[in-house]
Amino acid sequence: MRSRPIAAMLAAATAALTAHAQAEQPQGVVSLSASATVEVTKDLLNVVLSTSKEGQDAATVQSQLKQALDAALAEARKAAKPGQIDVQTGNFSLYPRYAAKGGLAGWQGSAELVIEGKDIGGIGALTGRITTMSVARVSQGVSRELREKVESELAAQAIARYRAKAAEYARQFGYSSFVIREVNVGETEAPGFVPMPMLRAKAMSSVVADEALPVEAGKAQLAVSVNGSVQLTK
C-alpha cells in the first residue's frame, strides 16, 4: 500500500508551506484610515423650464411647442455667458392620446429648456423674463472648480491626520517610527445637482413674468479619506 506514504508526504509538504508563509508574514503591520470633511456653499444652479401643448393635429402641437421654445431660447441667449449662464434645450416629445374606448383622440407634447451656471442671481432674473415656459424643476450643485480647490486642501488635511495616527500607533505599540506600505486616497463628491425642497419648488413654479426666481444657495459636504497600512519599525 503506497497511499499512506503519499498522504504523509502531502501532509508534510502542506505543513512546510504553512510554516513558510507564517514565517514570511510581516510583523508590526497596522491598517488604519483618516478623513477630512468640509461644508461648502453650492455655487451652481440648474433650472428646467417646460411647456406642454395638446390638440387634434400633430403638426399644430409641434408648431406650438417650437414657437414657445424658440421664444424662450431667444430671451435666454441674450443673458447667456459661458460658465455663468449656460443655455441648452432639453427633452422635446410628441405623442398620441387615445380615447378610453380606443382610437386616436388627439396629440400632446412637451418641450424643455435648461439653464444652469454660477450666476445664481442672473439665472433667477432670466427665468422671470421668460413668458412662454414655466419652471418645472430647480436644483443646486457644486462646480468642478470649487470641488477641486476644496478637495486639494482636504487631501492635505487627511494625509496629515493619517501620518499623525500612524505615528501615535507606533508609539503606543512600542515602536519608534513607521513606513507606509500602501495607501489609497479617495474623494467623496457632492451629488451633481440636488433638487430643492418640494415646497420651495412649488412656489417657484408659480413665478410670473418679470418676477425673479427666489433662490437661496444650499450647503454640501465634501470629504477626502485616506486608508491603507503601515509597517511599524524599531
Q: How do the pLDDT tens digits run along the chain, 234 residues long?
A: 455 566 565 565 565 555 544 445 578 899 999 999 999 999 999 999 999 999 999 999 999 999 999 999 999 999 999 999 999 999 999 999 998 888 889 999 999 999 999 999 999 999 999 999 999 999 999 999 999 899 889 999 999 999 999 999 999 999 999 999 999 998 775 455 555 543 344 444 444 445 678 777 888 999 999 999 999 998
Give pTM, 2 decimals.
Answer: 0.69
Residue-wise pLDDT tens digits, 212-221 = 787 778 889 9
Question: For the purposes of burial, counting CB atoms within 10 Å of the CB of 87, is it exposed (0-12), middle (13-18) or buried (19 or more)?
Answer: buried
| CATH class for the domain made up of 44-141+193-216 | alpha beta
Q: Which residue has the cell 479619506?
A: 225
Q: What is the grid cell recorded at 158?
A: 487627511
3-state DSSP of 109-151: EEEEEEEEECCHHHHHHHHHHCCCCEEEEEEEECCHHHHHHHH
Spatial contact of 213 and 196, defined as CB atoms under 8 Å apart: no
Residue-wise pLDDT tens digits, 40-90 = 999 999 999 999 999 999 999 999 999 999 999 999 999 999 999 999 999
Considering only CA atoms, give the Rg of the chain.
31
| Helix-helix angle 58-79:120-129, to 10 degrees | 140
CA distance 36 to 222: 9
